Structure 1
Amino acid sequence: MSEYFSLSDCDVIGFDLDHTLCRYHLKETSRLIYESFARFLVEHKGYDKDLLNLTPATWDFCFKGLVVDLEDGNIVKLAEDGTVLRYGLSAPKPELAIVLSDIKSKLIKSFILCLIRATHGTTDLSTEEILKFYGPNREWKHFNSLNTSFTRSAKYYFYDNYFDLPGALLCGRVVDMIHKRGSEVNSDFWKDMLAAIDHNYNTSAFKEDAGTYFPSVKRDPGRYLQPCSESVKTWLHSMKNAGKVLLLITSSHSDYCRLICEHILGKDFEELFDVIITNALKPGFFSLVPQQRPFKTLVNDVEESEGLPSLDKPGWYSQGNWPHLHELLKTMTGKVEPKKQGMKSPSAMSNQWGSYFVDIYKGDGEHEEGQRLTWCCHCIHKYSTMAIPSVEHIAGVCLYRI
């Protein structure tokens, strides 16, 4: 990351929508998403109704950056080099018990005992089980694919956004139920999970009131969406007035994007952005080159069938790819390489999984315990200029060096 950063030096400023410009009431939204997926499995696929029953403590399992290995039902948290984080801490260090009181010792012991960063279903894997699955170096075999493409595959699913994050908990509970029935876990259960996601999020679900998620948000948007503060709205206007090119790029479809933006920014939200791109399917929007999707125009929130060979003017588009957008930005700014900055959301701490950014590494006796960057943190460090907790934290200082 750079030592100094100033938005005044940027020609183009792009925003993600969900959980960046639009902040959600996470407890309500997570519960709704989980219920949307689980209800589909119960009502359409014949799964046990117990999937619909949750305790408050179970929500801690939902953690951004987890990977589900679809071949064996394991859920893992990865270090920057693709190894499975935190194993081998099965008891507290003896010296801790000497210097701490009995109460503190119990707290430390319970904390250290949970320092496992891989599960089978929702059950923590032991050191021996992690070594069995991933070998002495704890290497996850699909890491190179994830690290180079940043996309999902038939072998694994990367939980990188809040829209499907409660699915990690649901996956874990489904694997638990498969074991309870005495059946062997394989990737077949994932077909049902994908069907649940598609049922709730497909392109026509919003318009047709299909599934559980969109009808619920449409009925009561204030229950799930937090309006932007006046300081953020003023900040966006000030950047636009200062001649910055503002982008809004989201994987949400245009009809849902419109509902969100009208609620958080107002009916005139389109005036704030030079280019709005919906159904972008990030990160493939940036990484799938040359297998890139063309931009499409929209008529009443319906995509035109023919893709555009290039972008020649600002506006609202669907799908698309970074190379074509990059060429448009060159034209709009009059610069060969306009300076850009994008803003996206981080993730919160978890008792189950620890920090989104760092974790503890413990070797097999030859390596000392120490901190390691997670793969997610490594990506932020490699590709981002800086990390901020929320847009509100920099609203009002956009033209100053920070």
Structure 2
Amino acid sequence: MELNGSVGGLSRPIPANFKFADYNCVGFDLDNTICRYQLTNMVQLEYDALCKFLVDQKGYNADVLLKPIDFGFLQKGLTLDFEKGNTLRISGDGTIWRAAHGTKFLSDEEIEAQYGVERMWEPATAFYKEPLATWNGPVALKLRSLLDYFDMPAALAFARLVDEYDKKHGGPAKVPKVPGSIWSDILDGLGYMFNRHNFAAKDGGHYFGNLRSYPEKYLNRCPPEAIEWLKTLKKQNKKLFLLTGSHIDFANYTSTYCMGPEWRELFDIVISFAKKPGFFTSTRPFLSLKNFNEGEPIASLTNLADQNFVSVSQGNWQELMEFLQIKLKGETPKCLYVGDNVVQDLYAPFHYTRCDTLAVIEELWGENKLEPPHPDSKVLLADKWGSYFGTKDVPSLWHNFIAKSALLTVPKFESFAELPLDKPIPTGFYPEEPVSLAEN
């Protein structure tokens, strides 16, 4: 992945407030941002699909994996230490706050025995200092942070396979390190599950096949007030773009279900299979699309600026800005981007471009018991790991990244419809900060 400038990108402070009226371009992530999933069913499907692959294709013990899911062990943002077989909860200063070996939680003494009295682990420290610099390369061979609800179930599969490995070899004390094949096999399973070509396949695979057959079980429709808010932004002559990691056929499917058959009218340009966070830092070319298939590289995206609607694949931020500047009749784009993935949607655009960001973090909805209650609170509130945001005294790594990268964090996409477009909005959390941050 190419990085612009020095590691760490731009150093920018978060202002005290912002106004939507100050921006002429607004971009959106799709999955878990505009399109909210039914998380209990979704995470269950992902776990089942992953474990089915591990049993059928990799030969793992079905009795170990194909048993009821433990939602209490799962949390967005957990970090895996492949070699030690540990699942880690990293605090805002890069130290290890909580840890489990397999599914067994470690005491403070056990954590310090493995990571030292400072509770520091070099790969985690490198990620804490600069997550994009560790996206590929040596650190990525030792660590994986599970950033969203799509890879979150991998933590439980990993932990259960570590338990099984320990059992076969006399317990964790007699196992110097866990074989790397456990994570590489899980990674193969994730790659198979989310392979973008599977959605168009006849059976769609276990994951896409179920999503395609039972959308009402896994997807939520976007509330009317959110759709009206998008239309209002367009009426104010703002240029709207959809920037998603999903391939165009799946993005079209979920967008149609969530936003309705006329969803394309809400956007000036749709970029699919964007390969974030690299989209914000690389010079990867845009590719044309025909019948949901990628075609040749586009010589210049600006050549398409006279079209009312553009749909392309992959690409890069710099060319998108040049395209939007033409759409704005020469005015310099001033962009907001709205997303849920802390690294891909918030950290990367805020620190590597001049784009401001807004966060949709469902854990805020679940933790603060906002009305109506979140229907999937058990997925959001991991009783074994504590709050996603951490505590007042020990904020989590993810809270700190959000605080340094997002102007505003809301619990759900439709929350934006409650906010004024032409008045200053205080930065931070809306409608209130997580209750855990007010507690010790």
Q: Given the two structures, how large is their TM-score scaled by the length of structure 1?
A: 0.83
Q: Is the 8 A contact 1:239 1:398 kept in 2?
A: no
* Code of the aligned partner of 2:270: I
1:385 aligns with 2:407: yes
With over 3 angstroms needed to count, the CA separation of the structure-2 counterparts of 1:338 and 1:235, relative to structure 1, is same
1:319 aligns with 2:300: no
Alignment of 1:227-266 (within 5 A): 227-266=221-260
Write the distance in 2 (CA, Å) between the matches of 1:2 and 1:24.
Answer: 31
Write the distance in 1 (CA, Å) between the matches of 2:297 and 2:130.
Answer: 27
Equivalent position of 1:148 in the other structure:
130
Which deviates more from structure 2 when the two are superposed, residues 212-221 or residues 137-146? 137-146
Equivalent position of 2:183 in the other structure:
190
Q: Is the 8 A contact 2:196 2:246 kept in 1?
A: no
Equivalent position of 1:135 in the other structure:
116
Equivalent position of 2:73 in the other structure:
61
* Code of the aligned partner of 1:307: P
* Code of the aligned partner of 1:75: T
* Code of the aligned partner of 2:123: H
Alignment of 1:336-351 (within 5 A): 336-344=332-340, 345-346=360-361, 347=363, 348-351=380-383
- Displacement of 1:239 in angstroms is 1.0
- Displacement of 1:337 in angstroms is 4.8
Write the distance in 2 (CA, Å) between the matches of 1:284 and 1:175.
Answer: 32
Write the distance in 2 (CA, Å) between the matches of 1:238 and 1:336.
Answer: 21
Write the distance in 1 (CA, Å) between the matches of 2:400 and 2:210.
Answer: 36
- Displacement of 1:310 in angstroms is 4.0
Q: Is the 8 A contact 2:51 2:66 kept in 1?
A: no
* Code of the aligned partner of 1:169: L
Three-state SS of the structure 2 residue aligned to 1:22 is coil
Higher relative contact order (CA 8 A, sep 6+): 1
* Code of the aligned partner of 2:321: H
Three-state SS of the structure 2 residue aligned to 1:205 is coil
1:81 aligns with 2:93: yes
With over 3 angstroms needed to count, the CA separation of the structure-2 counterparts of 1:68 and 1:34, relative to structure 1, is same
Three-state SS of the structure 2 residue aligned to 1:351 is coil
Q: How many residues are aligned here?
A: 356
Write the distance in 2 (CA, Å) between the matches of 1:235 and 1:396.
Answer: 9
Q: Is the 8 A contact 1:329 1:338 kept in 2?
A: no
Alignment match of 2:290 (pick from 281, 299, 304): 299
Three-state SS of the structure 1 residue aligned to 2:200 is helix
Equivalent position of 2:355 in the other structure:
none
1:221 aligns with 2:253: no
Alignment match of 1:38 (pick from 28, 33, 51): 51
Three-state SS of the structure 1 residue aligned to 2:122 is coil
1:397 aligns with 2:419: yes
Equivalent position of 1:124 in the other structure:
105
Alignment of 1:352-371 (within 5 A): 352-359=384-391, 371=393
- Displacement of 1:25 in angstroms is 0.7
Write the distance in 2 (CA, Å) between the matches of 1:323 and 1:158.
Answer: 28
* Code of the aligned partner of 1:82: G
* Code of the aligned partner of 1:399: L
What root-mean-square deviation, in Å, do the aligned CA atoms of Structure 1 and Structure 2 show? 1.9
Q: Given the two structures, how large is their TM-score scaled by the length of structure 2?
A: 0.77
Determine which structure has more spread, i.e. the larger CA radius of gyration.
Answer: 1
Equivalent position of 1:72 in the other structure:
84
- Displacement of 1:371 in angstroms is 1.0
Q: Is the 8 A contact 2:65 2:160 kept in 1?
A: no
Q: Is the 8 A contact 2:25 2:333 kept in 1?
A: no
1:13 aligns with 2:8: no
Moved runs in structure 1, 4+ residues, more than 3 A? 51-56
Q: Is the 8 A contact 2:26 2:241 kept in 1?
A: yes
Three-state SS of the structure 1 residue aligned to 2:179 is coil
Write the distance in 2 (CA, Å) between the matches of 1:145 and 1:295.
Answer: 31
- Displacement of 1:231 in angstroms is 0.9
Three-state SS of the structure 2 residue aligned to 1:23 is coil
1:202 aligns with 2:159: no
With over 3 angstroms needed to count, the CA separation of the structure-2 counterparts of 1:335 and 1:149, relative to structure 1, is farther
With over 3 angstroms needed to count, the CA separation of the structure-2 counterparts of 1:296 and 1:145, relative to structure 1, is farther
Three-state SS of the structure 2 residue aligned to 1:277 is strand
Percent sequence identity over aligned pairs:
35
Equivalent position of 1:177 in the other structure:
164
- Displacement of 1:324 in angstroms is 2.1
* Code of the aligned partner of 1:317: V
- Displacement of 1:144 in angstroms is 4.7
* Code of the aligned partner of 2:384: Q
Three-state SS of the structure 1 residue aligned to 2:408 is coil
* Code of the aligned partner of 2:130: T
Q: Is the 8 A contact 1:330 1:338 kept in 2?
A: no
- Cα deviations across residues 352-379 of structure 1 (Å, max 9, x unaligned)? 11111124xxxxxxxxxx7122111111
With over 3 angstroms needed to count, the CA separation of the structure-2 counterparts of 1:64 and 1:10, relative to structure 1, is same
Q: Is the 8 A contact 2:279 2:316 kept in 1?
A: yes
Three-state SS of the structure 2 residue aligned to 1:197 is helix
Three-state SS of the structure 2 residue aligned to 1:128 is helix
Equivalent position of 1:283 in the other structure:
277
- Displacement of 1:283 in angstroms is 2.1
Structure 2: 5+ residue stretches without partners = 1-13, 341-359, 364-379, 426-440
